Amino acid sequence: MLLKHADIWQAIDDLARDHGFTVSGLARRAGLDPTTFNKSKRVSPEGRPRWPSLESLSKILETTGVTPLDFFGYSGPMEIGNKRAPLRRLPTMGIRQMGEREPFDAQGHPKGRAWDDLPFPELPDRNAYGLVMAGDSAEPVYRDGDLLVVAPRGALRRGDRTAIRSISGRMRVCEFLRRTPQRYEIRNFAAAETQTIDAREIAFAHRIVWASQ
């Protein structure tokens, strides 16, 4: 799936214009820092594209009364290869809420009514789900409010960014290094250190395929 960085930012520009705001004015009206959507915030000093957070998008949609589905209409249908990607409902939940509930079936697929639905382009993995970050445990890679799209299908490879759920229900994101029959080796983002986890403590490990950064 190709989610175009420029299209999302253009959609924000168009949304502001159509409701009589500059992007700074829209951010201010939504209770955000006025510089949240400035052009200088769209690319890092190293030249890496930055994406708006789910929290900031939610606030401007609430302010303008535009639905998520209509917002994706601003950005245009997204593409898979050269084909337009239809929207689907992506089950989405905050990372902290996942530890308080049992939102997965025995195969590690989303289940139940605890999930929120987010319109999102169709994905190859029908069991993909959204994970909303909270706090600073995954900084500097992921920030509070970032939306991660996670795909249960497919084998993990060294270096993959990964969502791991323990048998106890704790959900964490990290870099996958390798797995043996006895253990997982991961690298924590915040501490930048390698950790070994007993494989019997892990319910599943899924690959992160997209993030709203």
Can you give the pLDDT at residue 158? 92
Task: Give me the domains of the chain, ranges plus CATH numbers.
Answer: 1-85 (1.10.260.40)
**What region, left, alpha or beta, does residue 51 occupy, with left being phi > 0 and alpha being psi -120 to 50 degrees?**
beta
pLDDT, one tens digit per residue, over 160-176 is 999 999 999 999 999 99
For each successive 10 residues of the chain (213 residues), what is the average pLDDT?
72 84 92 92 87 87 79 54 61 86 89 86 85 89 88 90 93 94 93 92 93 73
Main-chain dihedrals φ then ψ at residue 91, nearest 5 degrees: -60, 130
The residues, any chain, with a CB within 8 Å of residue 185's CB and separated by 6 or more, are 177, 178, 179, 194, 195, 196, 197
pLDDT, one tens digit per residue, over 109-139 is 999 888 988 877 777 788 999 999 988 888 8
Distance CA 36, CA 157 (A): 35
pTM: 0.62
Can you give the pLDDT at residue 102? 84
Distance CA 204, CA 123 (A): 20
Q: What is the DSSP letter of 160?
A: -
